[in-house]
Structure 1
């Protein structure tokens, strides 16, 4: 099996790098600037699960002209439109596309462009970032990726993908409920992102602030109400776990969107919070705190606009 990893950032670079180090046939589709840096210094991972350094196989959009068996799409959601054009030559009649983007809007975009039959559900769980030198910094021990057919079936192609992913130095899992996992990941990320960005602090700092815990709990309830109406509603057990994690005393937990906000970087506001807000509005679900969080993020986005 030949895999094209679209994006060699902190997510695609991590999982693709582990696969390449395990002997899988992996090529990274990257921008020329990233290609030059990777060619010069290699792909480096600094991780509590073991450091990694290798010379990856690279390709840029102008030289991509053959299909791959599987495309692992791991770009930021706001870069999706550009990525679609770049990866198009890699998509053949039998190509699987496994997106591990945040939110759910990308599934509709990909289905419209390439056909729903090429899509496989995917969820990546990792805390990672790029340092100023372009190295991938793995910030916490977990490094999980799950994948599955959207209808829950065990097809020959998903079995082949599972065999490719297993034993590559991270936790890989074939899921028969991947669509639910995707909705639940969105519920967690949007809650965490809205809480930490709106109130500008870690989970523990928000919990300790006057009224902070109540605000966090209301945001979680708003997110759950929208997803329960517009998608596959999260289970009570899942929501109890989320409430526990996002109101934990002294927790240093933040979101990648909060880190991007603080660093003055582009953020996935529309995909993580804005799309959820729009779905809630269409469904008639009241989401005042979610709306406030999105307005806060929109101001940041406007300041970055050229």
Structure 2
């Protein structure tokens, strides 16, 4: 199975490298400057246990000239429109597997490409790019969840799952992938909302007098939005989420906070704004989410 990954950043670079190590036929579609950097330095993955350097196959949108079976998209939400434009230039009709936060991107892609081509996935990995372009893994136990949304996708989903079983990360082939996306979104919106609002790690937040209560309230709001949208979060999923969010001494922060501190673009509209929009549309309470969204909106206006 030929796999094309759009971008070789913190998420796409990590999963792509691990798939290459597992024997997958992976090519990265990158910008010319990124292609030059990869040819010079290789694709480097840094973990607490090892440093891996690979020399992956790369193409640019100007040099796309062969068909693939699967296109994996891992852009930030603010680069989504550009990524879609590039995908439209890929030859043939490959299946598409986006790993973006939230849910709206699926329906936008359905309209453009047809639901029969659009799979869905959620990445669970904490990575960042170092100053020299290496992918640094910040937490252990990376995984991703993905699944078919149409009968025609089941074969390629199973092939990808078999490849992932040979890799250094855990994969789950979900039969209810849109439910899984809502479960992740509820956690991520809470994590991003709390850590950017408080400018602190989850451990510091929950160590405060009302930190656990504030965190739980925001997560409950996200769960309420999911339920009223037709995707109720199970008790087991809630327990798993809160065990992460409320872990004592946790140094966990959202990548949104790291981007905020570096004065970089953030995905606040896609992660927080969209959750508030859904809450308003279904009549779910969202006071904590609005507070978090508003402070990010102020910051965005200040730097733009």
- Superposition TM-score tier, normalisation by shorter sequence: over 0.9
- Aligned partners of 1:51 and 1:273: how far apart in 2? 34
* Kept in 2: contact 1:152–1:176 (CA 8 A): no
Quote the offset at 1:215 in angstroms.
Answer: 1.4
Query: Which residue does the alignment assign to 1:160?
Result: 159
- Please name the residue that 1:3 is paired with: 3
TM normalised by structure 1 equals 0.94
**The residue matched to 1:68 in structure 2 has which SS?**
coil
Q: Number of aligned residue pairs: give it.
A: 304
SS in 1 for 2:250: coil
Q: CA shift at 1:91, angstroms?
A: 5.4
8 A Cα contact 2:259 2:265, kept in partner: yes
The alignment partner of 1:141 has SS state of coil
Change (3 A) 1:258 1:152: farther
TM-superposition CA deviations, 1:185-220 (whole Å, max 9, x none)? 111101111111111111111112242222111111
Is 1:55 the equivalent of 2:55?
A: yes
Instruction: Please identify which structure carries the higher strand content.
Output: 1
Partner of 2:65: 65
Residue by residue over 1:153-187, the C-alpha shift from the partner in whole angstroms, topping out at 9 and shown as x without a partner, is 98323222223333123222322222211110111
CA gap of 1:259–1:86, structure 2 versus 1, over 3 A, is same
Gaps of 5+ in 1: none
Tell me what 2:219 maps to: 220
| TM superposition score normalised by structure 2 | 0.94
CA contact (8 A) 1:266 1:304 kept: no
How far apart are residue 124 of structure 1 and its match?
1.3
CA deviation after TM superposition for structure 1 residue 271, in Å: 1.0
Residue aligning to 1:202:
201
Partner of 1:121: 120
1:63–1:257 distance in 2 versus 1, CA, 3 Å: same
3-state DSSP class of the match of 1:193? helix
Conserved 8 A contact 1:204-1:253: yes
SS at the partner of 1:232? coil
CA distance in 2, matches of 1:49, 1:104: 34
* Alignment partners' CA distance in 2, 1:121 and 1:248: 29
Moved over 6 A (4+): none
Find the counterpart in structure 2 of residue 40 from structure 1: 40
Write the distance in 2 (CA, Å) between the matches of 1:153 and 1:26: 22
Counterpart in the other structure of 2:265: 266
Gaps of 5+ in 2: none
- Deviation per CA, 1:90-139, whole angstroms, max 9, x where unpaired? 2523x111111111111112111111110112121111000111000011
**Pair 1:194–1:51, CA change in 2 (3 A):** same
What CA distance in whole angstroms lies between the structure 2 residues aligned with 1:108 and 1:236?
A: 27
Moved more, 20-29 or 169-178: 169-178
- Relative distance call for 1:154 and 1:85 in structure 2 (3 A) is closer
Comparing 187-196 with 225-234, greater Cα deviation is found at 225-234
Any idea what the Cα deviations from partners look like across 1:210-254, whole Å, max 9, x if unmatched?
422221111111111111112411112221332232223322111
Name the SS of the counterpart of 1:52 in structure 2.
strand
Partner of 2:14: 14
Aligned-residue offset at 1:30: 0.9
| Kept in 1: contact 2:42–2:56 (CA 8 A) | yes
Structure 1 residue 303: deviation in Å? 2.9
SS at match of 2:137: strand
Q: Partners of 1:152 and 1:211 in 2: how far apart?
A: 47
> Which stretch has the larger CA shift, 282-291 or 15-24?
15-24
In the superposition, relative to structure 1, how do residues 66 and 303 fare at CA in structure 2: closer, same or farther (>3 Å)?
A: farther
Query: CA 1:242–1:164 in 2, change beyond 3 Å: closer, same or farther?
Result: closer
